[in-house]
Structure 1
Amino acid sequence: MIIIMAGGRSSRMGKEKPVLKVGDKPMILRVYEEAEKVGETVVALSKNTPKTRELCLKEGIPFIETPGEGYVKDTQWLLSELGPFISVSADLPFVKSSDIYSILRAFSGEESLTGVLPLKLVPKDLHPVVYRGYAIVGLNGVGIEGEKFFEFRNPLLALNVNTPEELKLARRIAELVER
């Protein structure tokens, strides 16, 4: 199962991120359309994302309501309720079905896979979270125990939209690549 994580508070953005548009559609729809090509997909919502809930209801997108106590706790809750899954952040506007498919194929369900991007592939204007010499991306396999890295090659996975500046950049990129 693929779960789109869309229940965060969006504190750095100041607005509910999943419903913000990049290109001609809300980020949650961009991510959902790519994930749905790969397999069964559900959106994880919380009390923090009422507009995302409304959009899911309007578009007929299946969702599950989490406690809304933060990414880690909600991920743990989802794992206990549903078992191992592929997690995709709702604020990854340039994730492709091929990215999701590649981690799904490598994921056994036992050991967690943390999606990473080699720093040499990260575009210069981006400032991703760096851990052990890699950029962490919001596409993971959430398993029962352990953890290893899974390397991606799509440089746009480094753009996780968390701030107004990153949203502007994502919109500029969408204009360029989606003509």
Structure 2
Amino acid sequence: MIIIMAGGRSSRMGREKPVLKVGGVPMLLRVYSEAKKVGETVVALSKNAPKTRELCLHEGIPFVETPGRDYVEDVKWLLRKFGPFISVSADLPFVKASDIARISKAFDRKTSLTGVLPLKLVPKDLKPVVYRGYVIVGLNAVGTDGERFFELRNPLLALNVNTPEELKLAERIAGLVGR
């Protein structure tokens, strides 16, 4: 099961991120189109994301409504409801099916995998969260026992669109890469 996390408050952006367009397409639809190539996919949303809910209804995308208190609580709730799953943030406009497939293949359904990029792969324009020499990305496997880093190779996964500036950068990149 692949779950697209799309129920946050989008406080840094000031508006619902999943419905914002990158390359003319809402970010949620970009992520969903890649995820569904890999396997069964559902969108997790909350009362914080009414426009995202409308988009899912309009596009026929399956969704589940979480309590929406915060990310960690929603992940725990989803784990209880669905068991181990692959988690993809709705604000990762350049995630590819191959990225999702790689982490899915490595997932043993027990040990959680935190998707990371080696710092050397990250474009210099980005200011991502760095931890122990890696950039944490919004593609993970949620298991029940322990956790480890899982190295990914797509440098554009470092662009997690959280601010208006990052949205502008994503638009420029979409123009360059044609997607």
The TM-score normalised by the length of structure 1 is: 0.99
Taking the aligned partners of 1:140 and 1:32, their CA distance within structure 2 comes to 15
Where does structure 1 differ by over 2 angstroms across 4 or more consecutive aligned residues? Answer: none
2:4 aligns to what?
4
Mapping for residues 131-146 of structure 1, pairs under 5 Å: 131-146=131-146
Amino acid at match of 1:115: G
Counterparts of 1:135 and 1:69 in 2: how far apart (Å)?
26
Pairwise CA distance, 1:168: 0.2
Q: What does residue 61 of structure 2 align with?
A: 61
Query: How far has the Cα of 1:70 moved from its partner?
Result: 1.0
Aligned residue number for residue 127 of structure 2: 127
Q: Deviations for 1:48-84, whole angstroms, at most 9, x for unmatched residues? A: 0000000000000000000001111100110011100
Distance in 1 (CA, whole Å) between partners of 2:95 and 2:109 is 21
Q: What is the match of residue 43 of structure 2?
A: 43
Alignment match, 1:26: 26
Partner amino acid, structure 1, of 2:61: I
Identity of aligned residues (%): 80
Matches of 2:19 and 2:107 in 1, distance apart? 29
**What is the DSSP-based 3-state SS (H/G/I as helix, E as strand, rest coil) of the residue aligned with 1:80?**
helix
Equivalent AA in structure 2 for residue 98 of structure 1: S
Paired AA for residue 105 in structure 1: K
Task: Look up the match of 1:92.
Answer: 92
Residue by residue over 1:103-145, the C-alpha shift from the partner in whole angstroms, topping out at 9 and shown as x without a partner, is 0000011000000000000100101111111000000000001
Q: Which runs of 5+ in 1 are unaligned?
A: none
Work out the CA distance in 2 between the residues paired with 1:55 and 1:118: 34
Alpha-carbon RMSD across the aligned residues, in angstroms, is 0.7
Match status 1:52 vs 2:59:
no
Residue 40 (structure 1) shift: 0.1
Residue 37 of structure 1 aligns to a residue whose secondary structure is: helix
Where 1:18 maps in the other structure, the secondary structure is coil
Partner secondary structure for residue 139 of structure 1: strand
Question: Which position in structure 2 is the counterpart of 1:172?
Answer: 172
Q: Please give the alpha-carbon distance, in whole angstroms, between the structure 2 residues aligned to 1:108 and 1:44.
A: 22
CA distance in 2, matches of 1:130, 1:145: 24
2:75 counterpart residue number = 75
The number of equivalent residue pairs is 179
